[in-house]
Structure 1
């Protein structure tokens, strides 16, 4: 007997409301504006209270049997359970005692997302920006109280210093993003926030000198994230083996591509030659990314690969100044799904303020004229932007848990899968672009080896940097920035290729069973949300659920 439809939707709405109240930045990102003047509470008592509520929610959700839920409700229940189990697996790691980004990143992104989406009239927007700037000192003071030198990694603390310094500058300049009549009050709040960033930076710098903690979460936690939070049937060591097998297969393929281009199988030399043709400046890099993004959009539509949502738009813009030292590669921020549409933003990886000429050159080499075409596909069409624009336009608010919770394995897997689809359909029209796309994929395979090895405690940062700069085409500067990101975000780096392979498996099944066209597969799969892959499969092939229940 099915429960009354409103019963589960009421439960889901309660969980969503509680989740967004605890995470005001997430609320702003998804377009729920009721918490737009707030920053998160990361006091010890608040962290403990959220952990208790997580346990209570798990108990409530575990008590709901499949037989009393519709398929969609059962999937949403399991999405919530997987997210809660993932948080529980990392609870004893206490990242709030280790990670300065918990504080600096939240204070910065909280202001940035308000100005990015601009969901309020200008006077109200100015008030909310000022409110978050005035809340920043308390959040940063919580960081000073919470960060523990015996737990925190000195390398990751130092990684945060660039963001903290850029944060002070951003806080002082942010009033300029508002109309003149609203600037004075915001500028005053920005000065208070900037001073707090400077105090926090001095504390983090001193803390890094005596910190003795590690970044490696260990095998048990890594396995729990894969199995409990993602529903994958394997742990870190098997994932590393899969990554190495994929690397070896791609290495053989790229040798043949290089042989066809240069007469010898040295694909690294071939990639170096391809990447040597780099933009002359960050401004030219931006213009080239815009050109490639427009071409990818047209190609995906003309080849009937996806349905473009009405009114979708992707703006290709320079990365935020406070992110440039920490994010050496392109990234994307989605339109807020609770607003029913909007603009997505594809951020081009500008070099940090004050970068040396050599650092600027290295950043440009990593975004060569040929390589940036696959990045545009991944970040925009039919990758992340198309996926999230589809969700924003498709009434995802009817399943609000899917707008709030999700899996990097599907999201990042989709971006990499999109690259392969565009390759097989003929989008990459030069040998250099074809080789660069495979290089982007082999880089993701190398990531799996490095990410798992780092968190198993079997590879140092220096070894990982060497691996990434020799097994892929990353410059040493970019490789180190990437490796530090892997240290700070366990399992995220492994999500790209792992997710892409899982999505490709679903497509093969779709086609083998004659379910519909390639466009229909893409539209259906993307419209499920950003669920862990096993939950996507349940929605694409619902008869599996029926057979299981009947059995």
Structure 2
């Protein structure tokens, strides 16, 4: 076996091990080999996976880069980084804190369930078997939460409360619309009616009782000892919390030397630079350059609020249509798969962010899906909808992730992995600004929405580090965002609670955007009139979701 073959073999072994350990993720991605299985959340399974990753990492390290071509060197670097992060993450036992409303065991199940599909009758039968095992998974999760409590790892009270609200929403929802019942089945299948009946029975007799027991554990075991709102961040867990946060910053930024203090300072500097743009556009739109007055108009003007959820959906659809028509002028490589827009399920609305996206699975069973939150439409801002659509769909997540999935010459992990958050989210934030260059914002109100999105993500650098490294309270974080981003208070509270639940993840957006922006500016200065925006974008998107160090190496080849 030569070096190239060995590298591909190791990449395939890694991806198979990852999907086998995460069967629901595999199904979501269109890999149906594990449809009858559910995640094993036991500490024993975690240790087996950790040992397998360590063995693979040692073998990847033994591959000499000089024996590989340029493309394979990129693959090796990404595989090495992803395995390193996986080993590091499993080493601190993250499942002990996975009770939150964003990445918690229940939240992930409820979020990915609508993405499941059964293309063939065998898959349909396998998914019924999986559903019967959901109770086992939730019981394992509760045992891990209790082990965390025994180790002094108490969750934030706000995260437990939001999780309870989600669980109540699911348990009180109509069984006929249950996401575990309504998943897509085989086309034109005579057995569908009986299959649906069995899914409904399993949801009623197995899944919902299991979620009730899980809810009781959160309410009875976790809530009474949870950290109060003035101690919501990881730093209040002492040295253990500080260590976890350092690890998470490395994982989410892909920059091992970037610490909390530098991230905090960068956020403050970005907010300062954005104020000049607000004043310029605010003077044109509102006749004032006073920042506080601009923010007040954006937050309080009833004309800038929606009347109902369908208006939100209509504006999101219009933004996506415009971006779809224009993207060919800015990108040489375009995705084959389309992007759908659907509402966030009602029972998830109150505790979910404004929008999120799922890429198309490898089996082609559905397009990319952009979820739009219609919660309290009269409190939602018209000026933000376009920038959110450009972030989540085109030219943001859909363009990047769908293209990545379609790079058939690359190993599966490189095309389908959700690692390298700074690149994935940094690209989507870069896309919000790119949309202005593409002529997609139809007026200054949309541009103010773009600035609001940018300042909101800049606030994250300050607030995330404030909460988890500097001991900020929940209210301190809310107050800072209210002062520096023209986002509605309800959205800010949901966002702050998200940062508490997902430490470090929120800083990745701005860190990645700054890096992509910097690489583009440096290349444009180097090439002058020879700079080609399509070529730049195609190189940035041509190797899957990459780490920021690898991105630098790729751009350097132009």
Whether these two folds match at TM > 0.5 is yes
- Deviates most, 86-95 or 421-430: 86-95
Match of 1:159 among 158, 162, 168: 162
Partner of 1:324: helix, strand, or coil?
helix
Aligned ranges 1:443-454 → 2 under 5 Å: 443-454=456-467
For residue 108 of structure 1, the aligned residue among 86, 110, 124 is: 110
* 2:42 is the counterpart of 1:43: yes
C-alpha distance in structure 2 between counterparts of 1:317 and 1:382, whole Å: 18
Change beyond 3 A, Cα 1:212–1:340: closer
Per mean C-alpha deviation after superposition, the further-off stretch among 80-89 and 448-457 is: 80-89
Distance 1:176 1:405 in 2: 26
8 Å contact kept, 2:249–2:505: no
- Map 1:136-215; keep pairs closer than 5 Å: 136-148=134-146, 149=149, 150-153=152-155, 154-169=157-172, 172-173=175-176, 174=178, 175-176=181-182, 179-191=192-204, 192-212=206-226, 215=233
Identify the range of structure 1 (457-466 vs 414-423) with the bigger mean alpha-carbon deviation. Answer: 457-466
**Residue 547 (structure 1) aligns with:** none
Q: Which moved more, 1:485-494 or 1:24-33?
A: 24-33
CA drift of 1:78 comes to: 2.4
Query: Where does residue 281 of structure 2 map in the other structure?
Result: 257
Residue 345 of structure 2 is matched in structure 1 by 320
- Whole-angstrom distance in 2 between the partners of 1:432 and 1:416: 18
Is the 1:292–1:373 Cα contact (8 Å) retained in structure 2? Answer: yes
1:87-98 pair list within 5 angstroms: 87-91=86-90, 93-98=92-97
Residue segments in structure 2 that go unaligned for 5+ positions in a row: 186-191, 236-240
Is the contact made by 2:417 and 2:545 (CA closer than 8 Å) also made in structure 1? Answer: no
Out of 233-242 and 472-481, give the one that drifted further.
Answer: 472-481
Q: Is the 8 A contact 2:60 2:76 kept in 1?
A: yes
User: Secondary structure at the residue paired with 1:64?
Assistant: coil
| CA gap 1:91/1:365 in 2 versus in 1, 3 angstroms | same
| C-alpha spacing 1:505/1:416, structure 2 compared with 1 (3 Å) | same
- Cα distance change, pair 425–542 in 1 and its aligned pair in 2 (3 A): closer
Is 1:299 the equivalent of 2:322?
no
In the alignment of these two chains, the number of paired residues is 524
Deviation at 1:232, TM superposition (A): 5.2
Q: Which moved more, 1:407-416 or 1:103-112?
A: 103-112
The separation in 1 between residues aligned to 2:115 and 2:154, in whole angstroms, is: 28
Q: Deviations over 1:509-540 (max 9, x none)?
A: 33233365212211221122111121122233
**Any conservation in 1 of the 2:28–2:112 contact (CA below 8 Å)?**
no
Shift of 1:382: 0.9
- Contact 1:85 1:228 (8 Å CA) reproduced: no
Once the two structures are overlaid, the 10-residue window that deviates more, 403-412 or 56-65, is 56-65
- Matched residues in 2 for 1:340 and 1:183: separation? 22
Contact 1:402 1:530 in 2 (8 A): yes
* CA shift for structure 1 position 25: 2.4
Question: Matches of 1:197 and 1:285 in 2, distance apart?
Answer: 32
Distance of 1:151 and 1:113 partners within structure 2: 32
1:363-403 Cα shifts (integer Å, max 9, x gaps): x433x223211111111111111112222333265454442
Q: Distance in 2 between matches of 1:509 and 1:282?
A: 43
Which whole-Å CA distance do the structure 1 matches of 2:8 and 2:404 have between them? Answer: 19
2: distance between equivalents of 1:105 and 1:171?
18
**Change in 2 beyond 3 A, CA 1:463/1:276:** farther
- Residues 177-213 of structure 1: per-residue CA shift (max 9 Å, x gap): 5643421111111111011101111111112332245
Partner of 1:22: 21
- Give the equivalent residue in structure 2 for 1:470: 483
Stretch moving more, 209-218 or 64-73: 209-218
1:455 aligns with 2:458: no
State how far apart, in whole Å, the 1-side matches of 2:427 and 2:125 are.
38
The answer on whether the counterparts of 2:420 and 2:545 sit within 8 Å (CA) in structure 1 is yes
Aligned mates of 2:502, 2:464 — CA distance in 1: 9
Q: Paired residue for 1:272, among 276, 285, 299? A: 299
2: CA distance, partners of 1:22 / 1:203? 25
User: Could you tell me which of 497, 500, 519 is aligned with 1:506?
Assistant: 519
Q: Secondary structure at the match of 1:80?
A: helix
Deviates further, 260-269 or 138-147: 260-269
Q: CA separation in 2, counterparts of 1:181 and 1:376?
A: 39
- 1:331: which partner in 2? 356
Shift of 1:110: 5.0
Distance 1:144 1:283, change over 3 A: same
**Using the alignment, how far apart are the partners of 1:339 and 1:390 within structure 2?**
15
Q: How does 1:518-533 map to 2 (within 5 A)?
A: 518-533=533-548
Whether contact under 8 Å (1:409, 1:495) holds in the other structure is yes
Q: Which whole-Å CA distance do the structure 1 matches of 2:484 and 2:382 have between them?
A: 21
RMSD of the TM alignment (CA)? 2.6
Describe the SS at the equivalent of 1:347.
strand
Q: TM-score, normalised by structure 1?
A: 0.88
- Which residue in the other structure is 1:403 paired with? 416
